[in-house]
Chain A
Amino acid sequence: ETGVTQTPRHLVMGMTNKKSLKCEQHLGHNAMYWYKQSAKKPLELMFVYNFKEQTENNSVPSRFSPECPNSSHLFLHLHTLQPEDSALYLCASSQDQRQPQHFGDGTRLSIL
């Protein structure tokens, strides 16, 4: 149990579907992150939220839309995705942006 819970663990969707990934942390942290993990590539930072404010958008396409309603919850809304978006999406949290990050177990996303 890492203290960071992601749901669902697996998701298969068509290119025209709309779905959302959810992340919840029980560590009292103030910063939350979305990463994309593809085979044979380094983890790619997508978004950073600090005290519910987005502080980083790493040139992510607009078909990915993050939402952070409070410091414990983070969502990633998905719309009109492409096959190359198939990957493991990881959520992480940290006390602040200078402290160690703790990861959830990810959502395995497959785009048909």
Chain B
Amino acid sequence: QVQLQESGPGLVKSSETLSLTCTVSGGSIVGPHYWNWIRQPPGKGLEWIGFISYSGSTYYNPSLRGRVTISVNTSKNQFSLKLNFVTAADTAVYYCASLRGGTYSPWGQGTPVTVSS
């Protein structure tokens, strides 16, 4: 049973870079999956950020393009998110999730990130 766990700072200063890592356990990151980041601002809905394949192919939400980078480390079974020039609007719970076919499952438990001024 594949499990995902997010990790990273819970507080980031405005205009700096948000960095999070998702560790995949119970299975290999190498396979027919796409590894995603999704976020949820307080009291709001879900927003797809982007995904990466194990081979490094990436797709990003156009609304974030230019600020977001997703990378993969197959030797550590991890993938990571970097979001540059953050503002208060980037305050959210950040989830990592596996996409296979058209299905997001499983998800990590989520990690809250607050952008402070």
Tell me if chain B binds chain A. no
